[in-house]
Structures are given as structure tokens and as C-alpha cells.
A and B are shown apart, each in its own frame.
Chain A
């Protein structure tokens, strides 16, 4: 068990697949976490953690003001990765194709791209 670290108050901002953190009242972030290949875990009340696949025991812990806020963060962060979006796209594409017989990506001109294919290799 790790010695609990000191909790520091930070302003946290989710932008695309990055979680930026700021010292309160500062405009420039002091750090960022890239949210790919990570696990978001609900810990005890008001707390969630982020850990990464190559170092699963290391947790970045965040304590929120309320449990509700905590749940919101967990939901948002679980969907924050680019890879999550990609899988959603492939899923929707497939569903629409099955229902309508048409490939919805054709209008975007990206229907042939390898990374949007149903059988695309998974991470």
C-alpha cells in the first residue's frame, strides 16, 4: 500500500482526450494526462482514480466536491479516449448499414479508410 499522497487543489479540465490540470487562478496548465489505454475507477466516496495499462498500480487520484460530480467525471472520462470514439463510429456505421443497407460514411468520403473498417485490428 502506498503512502497516501498529499491532495492538492487543482482545476481540472477535460479537452478531447487530455485531462489538463491547473493551479487555481492560473491560466497555464501545470500538467496533462493523455487518456488512452487507461482505466477509470470509482474509488471511495467522491473519489475516482485514473491508472494506465503499463503501470496499473500507479493511480492518479481525484477527489471531487460531491459524489454526483464524481460520477459525472467517471462517465465523461470513460468516454474520453479517441479509441472509444473510433469504436463507437464503427459500431454505428455497422448498425446503420444493416438497417438501411447504406454505408453512412460514403458521404464523408472516408468509407475506404482502414481505420474505420469493421474488421479493423483492435488495440
Chain B
């Protein structure tokens, strides 16, 4: 079966961080079972893919195990610290691997058990639901009527996971009005660069990032709107719930502003 090997090798060896890596001894599977032997290989786990290399510095993997539909279990082999990757498909060969020690073995088993795409997808779907629930329960106690939102809220909408995948940020405004009403879709990042691995992470709401900077050195005579922008809009979410949190921040900012006023704008 053909595979885009060059791309696969690139993914295996590029400097994207591995989820786990280390030396393991791999049992050699021979047709005529003349005793068992093991080969030491450098293993790299990235996502649901377990690559192995002849040497740590090798430019290409010599093998790849796709970790879907498999279980990882401790092994009854004669070797100590052995574990096996076995597939639901009985016809598929199992991989018996041996770690250097107890800690290494446990770390590998843990990492490999949770490596599947299916597992990841399960967790993401669950979190999606939890976020939806959290939004709904906060919205439910909100007494103020929903209002339409200015484009200043646009930044908040770059919450790509809650929107259908869109190319242009201008559609975010439309998407905002459906926020919290269900139909959440795990959308892609809205930035136009769609290289799977090169994409920037979903942008965090700006408040936390700009807050630290502007609170310190802003010469503005008033609190700029950006500083009050919050990850959870007070207009849709019951403001009283967040009052304390905001209240403290606003108090600090006001004090600083007042002091700057007294000093006559340094």
C-alpha cells in the first residue's frame, strides 16, 4: 500500500514536539520461531503515531505503528519491563516492547494508552459539551436582555472551536449571535494558514494578554475598551457572577489611573 512516505518521514523527524520518546527493545517477529531476539530502536510518539528509528539520529524512521484500535498491556514475556501493543484485528501482529526500567515502562504504557485519535476525539467532544453546558448555565441566570454586539466584540469571537469553520473573520459577528444556542462545531482556526501543524493555536481572548501590559504603562486618560474586554462577555453572562473578579481588577486599574493623574501623566 502506498503512503506519502516523504511527508510521513518529515512529520516524524521535524522539530514538532514528541509526546514521548526513548529507547526500547523491540521483539523481532520471525516466521520460524527460533527463540526470541530483540532489537534496540529509538521510538518517538507523535499523536497517534509511534515511529521507530534505527538510531536516535536517523533521518528516516524504519517503522511506524498507527495506534488505533489497539490495547497496550503489560506482557507475560520472559523479559522484565515488557509490554505489548495488541490490535483488535486479530490478524494484525502485536508489538512486544521492552523498556529500560519500571518507570520507563509505566511512562510508555501510559502515553501509548491515550495516544489514539479516537480517544482524543472522545475527550474533545466531551469538553465541547461541557463548555456548552457551562455557557448555558451562566446565560440562564443572566437577567439583562441580549443585545447586538459591536465589532469590538469580534476578537472574542475568534473562538474557533465554537464556530463552523470560516475563512473570513467578518462572519464572526454573525456567529456570535448563535453562541450558546447549541450546534457547536469544532471548527478550525480561522486564520488562513491551514497547514495542519503550522497553524497558530486558537487565539486566546485578548483580555489576559493585553491586560498586564496596558495596566502598567498605558498613558491613556481613561480605561481603554480593550482592557475591559473579557473572555466572557458581561452582556450575555450574568454579570453578578463575575462581578468580584472584574471588580477587583477595575479597582486596581482605577487606583493606578488616579495615581497617574495626580502625578500629572509621567
Specify which of A37, A60, A110 is in contact with B195 (CB 8 Å cutoff).
A37
Question: Are A85 and B121 touching (Cβ within 8 A)?
Answer: yes
Instruction: Determine whether B265 belongs to the interface, using a CB cutoff of 8 Å to chain A.
Output: no
Question: Are B123 and A108 touching (Cβ within 8 A)?
Answer: yes
Q: Name A's interface SS.
A: mixed
Instruction: Determine whether A90 belongs to the interface, using a CB cutoff of 8 Å to chain B.
Output: yes
**Which residue of chain B is the closest to A122 with respect to CB atoms?**
B201
Which residues on the A side are within 8 Å of B7 (C-beta)? 33-34, 36-38, 52-55
Nearest chain A CB to B230 CB, angstrom units: 10
User: What separation, in Å, do the CA atoms of A29 and B114 have in the docked complex?
Assistant: 27
Q: Name B's interface SS.
A: loop
Which residues on the A side are within 8 Å of B10 (C-beta)? 37, 52-54
User: What separation, in Å, do the CA atoms of A36 and B46 have in the docked complex?
Assistant: 10
Instruction: Determine whether B199 belongs to the interface, using a CB cutoff of 8 Å to chain A.
Output: yes
Question: Are A37 and B186 touching (Cβ within 8 A)?
Answer: no
Question: Are B3 and A91 touching (Cβ within 8 A)?
Answer: no
User: What separation, in Å, do the CA atoms of A8 and B264 have in the docked complex?
Assistant: 74
Instruction: Determine whether B256 belongs to the interface, using a CB cutoff of 8 Å to chain A.
Output: no
Given A82-B48, A104-B127, A34:B117 Cβ within 8 A: no
Some 19 contacts from A to B, beta carbons below 8 A apart, are: A16-B48, A16-B118, A17-B117, A34-B8, A34-B11, A36-B46, A36-B197, A37-B10, A38-B7, A38-B195, A60-B4, A78-B165, A89-B120, A89-B123, A89-B127, A90-B201, A90-B202, A93-B127, A122-B201
Known: A36-B47, A79-B186, A84-B199; 4 extra A-B contacts, CB below 8 A, are: A38-B196, A82-B117, A87-B199, A91-B159
